[in-house]
Structure formats: structure tokens, C-alpha cells
Amino acid sequence: MEADAVEPLRSRALGGVAHGFLGRPGGVSEGVCRGLNVGLGSGDDREAIRENRRRAVAAVAPGSALVTLHQIHSAEAIYVAAPHADDARPGADAMVADRPGLVLGILTADCAPVLLADREAGIVAAAHAGWKGALGGVVEATVAEMERRGADRARIAAAVGPCIARRSYEVDDNFLRRFAEADPEHERFFALGREGHHQFDLESFVLSRLAASGLTRIEALGEDTYSQPDRFFSYRRATHRGEADYGRQISLIAL
């Protein structure tokens, strides 16, 4: 893995905006976090994590200052004007910026990373949309914060990066019930699985929230984190394998 190059995946919808959805290739971490692990919450070597973060930024927005969050599976979207110390990252799950020189980074390991941009207004955003944040409104909060800073949702383009796919995401009846109680229409994002279980389509759910927010330029990369162990980290896969730790990949966007 160390000999591989960092491989940012790009979105056509975000053409012209510096961005990339990164996976495992190109990093220096070893063991179960082998590859480009950027997760400060992992037990990985701190020097390796710092080097991986440096490589990630260099591959997408060279010379930019990385801004990350203490992600808490919330619907909290904040404006950022400067990077934070690692031990002082604000608790939130989305951030908006309008200043060159910053690169926004969202960490995931099955949840959906969402990158957004209004090129005309010079505003970018990055959101962490797990099932809880997506159901709670993190997409809507991100778009609203972008508009507060001068963006127009009619111009905002968005891309949903690698996340766990429906075929890999088995949930139980109680999980489905949470969504159905919020809106019966949400049941369309679930397919029948084995008895008492369902397959949840997180990617499609996040896409629906973007569309419901009035966005028309939306793209999904359609990459399943769970089923591609050489390309992506996956919390669920690590759990199923009984591994003691797991890495996190990063998705980046900058002006």
C-alpha cells in the first residue's frame, strides 16, 4: 500500500472546484489501518496519521490548511474561517467556508461524505452524513448555512462520495421504524432482507435530501466502502471481521 499513489476520486458535478474523495491507497499506516488512514480517533501511529493527512491535502489542494471537525453524528453545520488544533476541533458534522487557502475535510468509514460548492459565490461545504445525521437534517442545515453566507441553492452542486451500499447495509425492523415514523415515504429506501431485517440505501437517502433541498446538480459516485477492502476503510467490515480498530478515509474540498 505504501508504494501506491494517493487516488482522489472526482465528481463531474464539482468540475472546476478543487476536491477529491480519497480511500486507502497512498498512505503509510500499517496493520488494520493500512493505507491512508487520517482518523485521529483510531489507535494508529500519530506520525503516520499526520503524514497521511499531509499527503491527502497535497493531492487535492496543495498548500492549503486542513480544517476538520470532531464529528458527532449530528445535524450541526458551522461556518469555518481557520483551522482548529486537533484537540480543539468543534463538535459538528458539516462546515462551510468562503476563504481561499482552506481545505475542508470530512472523515468517513461507511457514512456518506457530501461535498458541495457554489462556484459563483465562492462558497464550499463538506458534510458527514451517516444515517443519524442524514435523518436529523445535516444536509438541509449545510445548504442553509451556505445560503447564509451568500450561496444560492439553485447554483449549488453536490456530490456524494464512497459509502456503504444497500447490498452491504443490513438493518433491523427498529431501524426502519425510525425512518418510517419520521416520514412513511422513507420506506422506499429499504429493501427486504432476511426475516426481521432490511437493506438500507444510505446513498439514495442522502441524494433525496439534497434534491428535497432544491439542488439540481447532484452526483453519486456509487462506490461501496464495505465490499472493497483494498480501496476503502469500513467500520462495519472491521466489526464483522472482529478487528480491534479501523481506519478513516477523507473527502476534501477547497476554493
Predicted confidence (pLDDT) per residue in 187-215, tens digit: 999 999 999 999 999 999 999 999 999 99
Does residue 191 belong to any structural domain of this protein? no
Does residue 229 belong to any structural domain of this protein? yes
Predicted confidence (pLDDT) per residue in 148-186, tens digit: 999 999 999 999 999 999 999 999 999 999 999 999 999
> Rounded to an integer, what distance in angstroms lies between the CA atom of residue 112 and that of residue 141?
16
pLDDT given at position 4: 80
pLDDT given at position 1: 40
Does residue 171 belong to any structural domain of this protein? no
Range of the domain at 106: 12-165+201-254
Does residue 239 belong to any structural domain of this protein? yes
Mean pLDDT lowest for which of 3-7, 147-151, 223-227?
A: 3-7
- N-term to C-term CA, the chain: 30
Query: Looking at the predicted structure, is the pLDDT value of residue 2 above 70?
Result: no
Query: How many separate domains does the chain show?
Result: 1
CATH code of residue 81: 3.60.140.10
Predicted confidence (pLDDT) per residue in 123-132, tens digit: 999 999 999 9
Does residue 98 belong to any structural domain of this protein? yes
- Beta-carbon contacts of 187 under 8 Å, excluding residues fewer than 6 positions away, are 176, 179, 180
Angle value at C-alpha 203, between 5 and 182, nearest 5 degrees: 150
- Is the pTM value of this prediction over 0.85? yes
